[in-house]
Amino acid sequence: MTDAPPAPPGRLGRAGGQPASAADLVARLVGGERRAIATAVTELERMSDAVPDLLAAMQPHLGRALVAGFTGPPGAGKSTLVNAVIAHARTLGHRVGVIAVDPSSPISGGAILGDRIRMTAALDDDGVFVRSLASRGYLGGLSPAAVRVIDALDAAGFDLILLETVGTGQSEIDVAEVADVRVVISAPGLGDDIQAMKSGLLEIADILVVNKGDRPGAEQTLQQLVGALSIRATVRHDTPVLKTIAMTGDGVPVLFDAIEAVGRRIAADPPMARRRRRARYLIARAAADLVARRIKDGAGAQLDALADQVLSGLLTPDAAASVMLER
């Protein structure tokens, strides 16, 4: 964890000895009060009972932030690069919120980003807010909680929100749905990384970054990416391919300009369109969770009955699934 300790669950912090209402908390959050932001983020992360009220109170304050997703294989340098982008964005006066989604435990994983941020002045800077979230049960992907935390940081006036996720399985799809700008990071020496990009990372990228530009093989990795872009039908052929050295900040201003350029391109979309995409994602995720829970909780006897019908040839498994969902 890199920010203030969470309030106890179910309470929204204290004001004058009384539990603060969601509206009060959001008013303080909108005013940029750090404790209020930390408390709201924790409530949203834990899906506490206060969440519906919080979301409702935040609605009028949403839609200003640009959300940039940083995804790629472990060790590519995402956290280091996020840190360098924070530093650059701060010199330009942006307020930066950071959400790092770690597939492992919040303790081991969160500490990694925390260490990188701690190396800079960012922790003492009111213009930066960092939170690591575990991706419990979401296979390395984004949890719906992470999407709600984006809203909290947006409402709190962070105009740039950086989202770090490991690019495996579900998370690349999540990032494509949730981020306004998708930055896909690779680095030389990570093995068969260009092949790994077949899994869809190239397709979602607005910007491709070869980090560790100081390492042997960086130029070759870059050329491979340029080559892969040119022969694939399903990608934008004008996707920028940039080289960075996150450790020194080399290439970071160019990357930042590229992020802003994509931001300008999509600024033609009304903010509502971007938020609608995130809302669609939340609904689809919630629906999938609901179905999974139904199957797990209540469907034992029904499943047995349907299985018998499948075995006796009365139903196909697909038809049985439909019966189950219609109940």
Ligand X SMILES: Nc1nc2c(ncn2[C@@H]2O[C@H](COP(=O)(O)OP(=O)(O)O)[C@@H](O)[C@H]2O)c(=O)[nH]1
Distance CA 115, CA 144 (A): 26
Q: Is the dihedral of CA 313, 318, 319, 324 positive or negative?
A: positive
Nearer to Mg ion, 39 or 79 (CB): 79
Is residue 19 within 8 Å of 11, Cβ to Cβ? yes
Name the β-bridge partners of 243.
210
Taking the alpha carbons at both ends of the chain, their separation in whole angstroms is 43
Name the H helices within 127-243.
Answer: 144-155, 170-178, 193-196, 201-204, 218-231
212 near ligand X, rule: CB under 6 A: yes
Q: Report how many residues bind ligand X under the rule CB under 6 A.
A: 15
Query: Least Å distance between CB 2 and ligand X?
Result: 14
- The binder of 249, among ligand X, Mg ion, none, by C-beta within 5 to 8 A per type, is none
Nearer to ligand X, 81 or 262 (CB): 81
246 near ligand X, rule: CB under 6 A: yes
Query: Least Å distance between CB 264 and ligand X?
Result: 27
186 near Mg ion, rule: CB under 5 A: no
- The binder of 245, among Mg ion, ligand X, none, by C-beta within 5 to 8 A per type, is ligand X
The token pair that represents 49 in the structure block: 């009972």
Nearer to ligand X, 212 or 285 (CB): 212
- The binder of 2, among ligand X, Mg ion, none, by C-beta within 5 to 8 A per type, is none
Query: Least Å distance between CB 138 and ligand X?
Result: 18
Query: Least Å distance between CB 243 and ligand X?
Result: 9
Nearer to ligand X, 78 or 90 (CB): 78
What DSSP string runs through 244-311?
-BTTTTBTHHHHHHHHHHHHHHHHTS-HHHHHHHHHHHHHHHHHHHHHHHHHHHT-HHHHHHHHHHHH
255: left (phi over 0), alpha (psi -120 to 50) or beta: alpha
Q: Binder to ligand X among 76, 145, 181, 258 (CB under 6 A)?
A: 76
- Look up tokens 């009028």; give the residue: 60
Query: Least Å distance between CB 186 and Mg ion?
Result: 14
Distance CA 90, CA 97 (A): 11
User: Considering only 74-82, 89-97, 148-156, 176-184, which stretch makes contact with ligand X by CB under 6 A?
Assistant: 74-82
79 near Mg ion, rule: CB under 5 A: yes
- Closest alpha carbon to 154 in 100, 96, 110, 101: 96
Query: Least Å distance between CB 211 and ligand X?
Result: 5
Q: Binder to ligand X among 183, 245, 258, 259 (CB under 6 A)?
A: 245
Q: Binder to ligand X among 39, 42, 80, 132 (CB under 6 A)?
A: 80
Q: Binder to ligand X among 30, 51, 112, 323 (CB under 6 A)?
A: 112
Distance CA 255, CA 235 (A): 19
Query: Least Å distance between CB 185 and ligand X?
Result: 7
**DSSP conformational letter for 8:** P
Residues lying near Mg ion in the complex (CB under 5 A) are found at 78-79
Residues lying near ligand X in the complex (CB under 6 A) are found at 74-80, 112, 211-212, 214-215, 245-247
